Structure 1
Amino acid sequence: MPDGTRGQRERGHGQEQYVIEGEGSVGADRAVSAAEAAPPFRFSRVGPRGKRLDSRVRSKVARAMTTGRQRDGRIPAGYTYLGQFVDHDLTFDATTVALGENITPADLLQGRSPTLDLDSLYGFGPDDEVSQKFYADDRTHLEVGTTTRIGNLVAREGFDVPRVGTGTRPRRANIPDSRNDENLAVAQHHAAFIRFHNRVVDKLPASVPAADRFQRARRVVVLHYQWMLKTDYLPRIVDPAIVTDVFTNGRRVFEVGADPFAMPTMPVEFSVGAFRLGHSMIRESYDWNAEFPDGAGSLFLLFDFSRTSGTLGGFPTLPSNWIADWRRLYRFSQIDRPDLDPPAGEFNNARRIDTALVDPLADLPLGSFGGEDGDAGTLRANLAFRNLTRAAMLRLASGQQLADFMTARGVPIAKLTADQIRDGLNGADLSALTPAQLSAFLTDTPLWFYVLREAELNNGRLTGVGGRLVVETFHRAMEGSRNSIVRNPAWRPRIGPVAERFGMVDLLVFAFQNKKSLLAPLGD
């Protein structure tokens, strides 16, 4: 960390202002000092500062990236939204729900830091007077939500996130992080993690005292969650050799030699660059369930059947015909469960990780980024443009700068050539750039584009700069968590039928009681 900077993205979904210690406030509005901003969230800058990409180039590249494509990758589509859930866990500022009297200074510091402790699920726990609203009366189980009956489909408890409100108007999610209700897919993942926690509670030995049951269950949940990320999620999105190297030999570029018990920071190069890989994985439509097969689950509808970005279709809670069929999002055959195969032709793969995004992302729902009416249909609603602009705003290092930075620290990086960046492999077409614009773009390529081009040339998996940034950030976030598989390398999973195996499908099977009727409640 050459300049040791830390800071925060200011609170509020869709905000584009960050505070980095030593640099002050960096964003679209006026600059303020770091002291004036008093940032609670801990951002850092790993590499050098980069150049601002001209807005005309950003516009052309953004349009090139969002022209739409139909190229599937090999990763099940559920991991797209698992990644979004994880991103919200990493970037959640738990102090936004901590207003009670039982919070220690250490808790506050932890709450202001990027860790993988599922704070976006737990808030500050059942003993905090504000976070109590996320818990059942026993202060051990998490509250669950109930869907709304529609037609002959009954209301179902536990298949929506909990919501607050009365009457027939769409209700706000009663969860620590409202971003987990910005689209239906990530909201269904949040509801599944609620089920997972509650099932772990139910399986605790009766000998565990009532006062200890919540913390015991949370520890089990978090350690299994981290194991799943290390052994299942990360090797799907990143070259597995990088995952093995970092978790075996340690970090080489990010917070090297940090006190394992010290609070981690969040690299802006990860948050604003490398980990936006999931945007490339999004499909324009999904074979969602038996009620909405054959691509009827459009991306627009997944936004609308949430409350942060949509209206829940006008229902007070999620209507029962929109419950996820997990068989269509994850492959249960990988754990030898052919009985949980979806109907033929009804499985969703994520789009390949590359530089081409599906065209609905050229015009985001305003609620998904806090937009105003005048933003609809403009470049301000284009996800690629927003990502490129945010990076320029922060003067994020280019892909080439970080490749050189990592190489100087002993990381074997195969730096992309200008031809590779220009041509890619069936990704974004840069031919709309003028020769001068193209030359500047190929010399200082925005990190997000560079990372996606690396993946595009690596069969849809991050490698090089992107792979190293993602895995080292995950490693440090796990290391600094209250419960940590990095600090406790001898720990092994205890849930599931196979020793040392615990992936996302194992989590779902356990959470949904090993029942097809719960994993796919609407049938085939």
Structure 2
Amino acid sequence: MVVQKVADASSFRTSELDTRDSISLATPPGFRHLLGTPAPSQRFRAFGIDPLESPSHDAKLRGLMYRLSRRMDAVIKWPPQARSAEYWENPFIPSGYTYLLQFIAHDLVHSAIPLSVAGGLGRGTTNARRTPLRLETLYGSGPVGSPHIYALDAPSDDRRTKLRLGRMRWKERQPATGCPFRDIARTQAENVTGIDRSIAGVRVALTEALVADPRNDDHAVMSQLTALLALLHNGLVDVIRGREDNAGPNGRFGAAYKRFLCARGALTAIYHSIIRNDLMRRVIHPAIYASYSGPAPHFIDRLASADGLAIGDWEIPFEFSHGAFRFGHAMVRPEYQINDLSLHDLNNTLEKSSINDPANMPLDETWMVQWSRFFEINGSTPNFSRRIGPHFSDGLGNDQIFPAFDETERVGLLYRDLLGAGLAGMWSVDALIAEIGARRPNFIAMSRLLADRAYRVNQLREWLVSAPTYGALTDEDIETLSNDPPLPFFILFEAMQQMEGLQLGLLGSIIVSEVIFGALASVSPPAGGGSLADRLDLVSREFYLTNVLQGIPDISNMAQLVEFTTEIAELQQAVPAFL
């Protein structure tokens, strides 16, 4: 795809700081820059060279990101903590939130190919998401546009209101009791070209995951989270059906779509409540959370919550998608206690999908997530996420899932994150701090790491030289990285230095808050306007004369969502255990 040249960009698309450089305005559709497009002098540089202006230096950029990724292989020596946990664990963020973050990322960004693999802007890197945080990653284009992900409620084809689920598989003999519909829906591809991956005479390969977004089958925990939300949607459909008037035979078609839209609206309102009141409270610096979580936050990014944008106008900043929001990768654990009986390492977890292991699909009982292992529910001790810092679990270097794609032969997700940031033409850390400081000086003043450049450079330099056996960084590498660190690396470094890895630091929190709270503020009715009960009442009265959603509890965290799903899906006695 040809890079879009936006020479006539409006004030919403172009920074007043620079309108002369056409290269700085070249962004793929669906993306933009935070705080306006940076001038060439404000963009990230490697060895003093702007990667956008000097493609001939591509090899030097790749080599630098390769060596930095190797330096980040060194285990972080975290300070001890009071709560009972491993030194690298974050007892304040159970590991289920790691995958809620991944789900949200899928709901905000959907590109045909990663920027790091594409090697440059505009080569299939368009962001297809233009309606942020509307659960498009779960619902696709609805029963008409994405019928393969919806189940028929009746013999006729006019009542697709529920999301498909699939039977789980029993490793051994199926017990007399149990809850078989616990996996996402999967099927085989028959009578089509391609290689048959079935095990002849043993098992059919279920190569096709019937989900709106194939990334929601990236691994076992992700597909289980998708199934959880599908179970909640389906339960809401049943609640609504039980309270609606009998429409008669001529009204069934319309009734089905009212029911679907009402259930989708209700789940979206619950989703927004959890993002606002639970997830962001856990990961964002407390002072920044307090500034953005109220009903009328003051955004410094003009497009953060632009009201009245038509569908197709919303765009996500590279500084979020390829910068700050990559922090979730550092939270991934090396292993997971999936349920009371099953402990799986990360490599095994990542390989459990219809693409990678179709002959062993659907998931069996050893992969059925017991949600009290992923969220704190009724006093449970869940798997905790990793502390946030410049280090990833070894499993994210899996060469089958994240193979090498360039001359560095570096496998893994970490190198991809760093290289993608280097190719995106993002603000440099220094320029971004200066621009935020000009707009909200009180934010920058709260952090010496941000306010004092000499101190920041020295702290980065000290860390880079502190593990000389990792990365083989040269003196030139250390100087360029200290003075101009790639944004995703700095966000992790800041969280480590400023918050001991328990939350994001100030800069990371500002970027994430501008985008997430901005997207919530753009939702109609406003996400900050009233309680969840008020939102649900508004949703219901769009379609019904009475509030068919009355009685749904005030769900403001993931534990409450799981408990409510357990109730309305009648999973209290599920085998394997759901809760």
**1:239-258 aligned within 5 A:** 239-248=285-294, 249-255=297-303, 258=306
Q: Which moved more, 1:181-190 or 1:380-389?
A: 380-389
Moved more, 397-406 or 67-76: 67-76
1:88 pairs with one of 106, 109, 115: 106
Alignment correspondent of 2:243: 206
- Structure 2 counterparts to residues 165-184 of structure 1, below 5 A: 165=188, 168-184=204-220
CA distance in 1, matches of 2:27, 2:321: 20
Any residues of structure 2 matched to 1:405-424 within 5 Å, and which? 405-411=435-441, 412-413=443-444, 414=447, 415-416=449-450, 417-423=456-462
TM superposition shift of 1:142: 1.0
After superposition, residues 25-174 of structure 1 pair within 5 angstroms as 41-46=30-35, 48=38, 49-52=43-46, 54-68=61-75, 71-74=88-91, 75-92=93-110, 112-128=129-145, 131-137=146-152, 138-153=159-174, 156-165=179-188, 168-174=204-210
Runs of 5+ in structure 2 lacking a partner? 10-21, 48-60, 77-86, 113-126, 153-158, 190-202, 246-254, 451-455, 537-548
- Pairing of 1:301-312 with structure 2 (within 5 A): 301-308=348-355, 310-312=356-358
2:227 aligned with 1:227, yes or no? Answer: no
User: Hey, what's the Cα distance between the residues in 1 that align with 2:480 and 2:208?
Assistant: 46
- The equivalent residue for 2:546 is none
Look up the equivalent residue of 2:71 and give its one-letter code. A
Instruction: Tell me which residue corresponds to 2:477.
Output: 437
Say if 1:71 and 1:213 are closer, same or farther in 2 by CA, change over 3 A.
same
**Residues 441-480 of structure 1: matches in 2 within 5 Å?**
441-456=481-496, 457-459=498-500, 460-480=502-522
Distance verdict in 2 for CA 1:65–1:203, change over 3 Å: same
Match of 1:316 among 361, 372, 390: 361
CA contact (8 A) 1:145 1:160 kept: yes
Q: For residues 137-193 of structure 1, give each alpha carbon's deviation from its aligned partner in whole angstroms, at most 9, with x where no partner exists.
A: 121111111112211345843311111226611332111110111111111111111
Q: TM-score, normalised by structure 2?
A: 0.71
Give, in angstroms, the shift of residue 362 of structure 1: 2.7
C-alpha root-mean-square deviation of aligned residues, in Å? 3.6
Match of 2:427 in 1: 397
How far did 1:58 drift?
A: 1.4
Deviations 1:206-258 (A, max 9, x none): 22644411111111110110110011011111113312312332311351572
Asked if the contact 1:289/1:324 (under 8 Å) is kept, the reply is yes
Distance 1:150 1:404 in 2: 58
The 1:174–1:246 alpha-carbon spacing in structure 2 relative to 1, beyond 3 Å, is same
Rg (Cα) greater in structure: 2
SS at structure 2 position matched to 1:350: strand
> Higher mean Cα deviation, 160-169 or 320-329?
160-169
Which secondary structure state, in structure 1, belongs to the residue aligned with residue 144 of structure 2? Answer: coil
Residue 451 of structure 1, CA deviation? 0.7
- For residues 317 and 427 of structure 1, the distance between their equivalents in structure 2, rounded to whole angstroms, comes to 46
Q: Could you tell me whether the CA contact under 8 Å between 1:42 and 1:112 is conserved in 2? A: no
8 A Cα contact 1:422 1:442, kept in partner: yes
Tell me if structure 2 keeps the 8 A contact 1:379–1:385. no
Alpha-carbon spacing, 1:93–1:122, altered in 2? closer, same or farther (3 Å): farther
1:127 match: secondary structure: helix
Q: Is the 8 A contact 2:132 2:314 kept in 1?
A: yes
Contact 2:33 2:316 in 1 (8 A): yes
Question: Separation in 1 of the partners of 2:282 and 2:216?
Answer: 22
Number of aligned positions between the proteins: 462
Pair 58,40 (structure 1): closer, same or farther in 2 beyond 3 Å: closer
Q: Which residue of 2 aligns with 1:268?
A: 318
C-alpha distance 519-264 of structure 1, shift in aligned 2 (>3 A) = farther
Normalising by structure 1, report the TM-score. Answer: 0.78
3-state SS in 2 of match to 1:357: coil
- Aligned pair in 2 of structure 1 residues 516, 177: CA closer, same or farther (>3 Å)? closer
Q: How far apart in 1 are the matches of 2:305 and 2:169? A: 51
| 8 Å contact from structure 1 (residues 363, 377) kept in 2 | no
Distance 2:440 2:526 in 1: 27
Q: Distance in 1 between matches of 2:305 and 2:578?
A: 51
8 Å Cα contact 1:170-1:316 kept in structure 2: yes
Unaligned runs of 5+ in 1: 1-9, 11-16, 25-32, 95-109
Query: For the Cα contact (< 8 Å) 2:150–2:162, is it kept in 1?
Result: yes
Decide which of 341, 346, 353 is 1:291's aligned counterpart: 341
Larger deviation, residues 37-46 vs 212-221? 37-46
Q: Which segment drifts farther, 39-48 or 138-147?
A: 39-48
Structure 1 CA distance for aligned equivalents of residues 428 and 523 of structure 2: 30
Amino acid at match of 2:183: D
* Distance in 2 between residues matched to 1:153 and 1:67, nearest whole Å: 45
1:241 aligned counterpart, secondary structure: helix
* Alignment partner of 1:506 out of 525, 542, 560: 560
CA-to-aligned-CA distance 1:42-89 (integer Å, 9 cap, x gap): 444545232146333212210121345661112101111111011001
State how far apart, in whole Å, the 1-side matches of 2:554 and 2:266 are: 14
Q: 8 Å contact 1:73–1:352 — kept in the other structure?
A: yes
* Percent identical residues: 27
Alpha-carbon contact 1:42-1:113 (below 8 Å) kept: no
Structure 1 Cα separation of the partners of residues 220 and 514 of structure 2 = 30
Checking the alignment, whether the CA contact within 8 Å between 2:70 and 2:471 is kept in structure 1 is no
Q: Write the letter of the residue equivalent to 1:90.
A: L
Return the offset for 1:127.
Answer: 2.8
User: CA offset at residue 452 of structure 1?
Assistant: 0.8
TM superposition shift of 1:419? 2.8
Kept in 1: contact 2:5–2:27 (CA 8 A) = no
Distance in 2, Cα, partners of 1:428 & 1:508: 43
Mark the CA change 1:351 to 1:379 in structure 2 (over 3 Å): closer, same or farther: farther
- The one-letter code of the counterpart of 2:90 is G
Residues 465-512 of structure 1, C-alpha deviation per residue, up to 9 Å, x if partnerless? 1101101101222233466514x4555476999975521111111112
**1:126–1:140 CA contact under 8 A, matched in 2:** yes
Contact 1:234 1:243 in 2 (8 A): yes
What amino acid is the match of 2:73? T
Q: Map residues 187-206 of structure 1 onto 2, 5 A cutoff.
A: 187-204=223-240, 206=243
Q: Is the 8 A contact 1:164 1:171 kept in 2?
A: yes
Structure 2 partner of 1:30: none
* 1:156–1:320 CA contact under 8 A, matched in 2: no
Q: Is the CA contact 1:153–1:321 (under 8 Å) kept in the aligned structure 2?
A: no
Alpha-carbon distance in structure 1 between the residues aligned to 2:495 and 2:70: 20
The 1:497–1:210 alpha-carbon spacing in structure 2 relative to 1, beyond 3 Å, is closer
Deviation at 1:392, TM superposition (A): 1.1
Note closer, same or farther for the CA distance 1:458–1:197 as it changes in structure 2 (3 Å cut). same
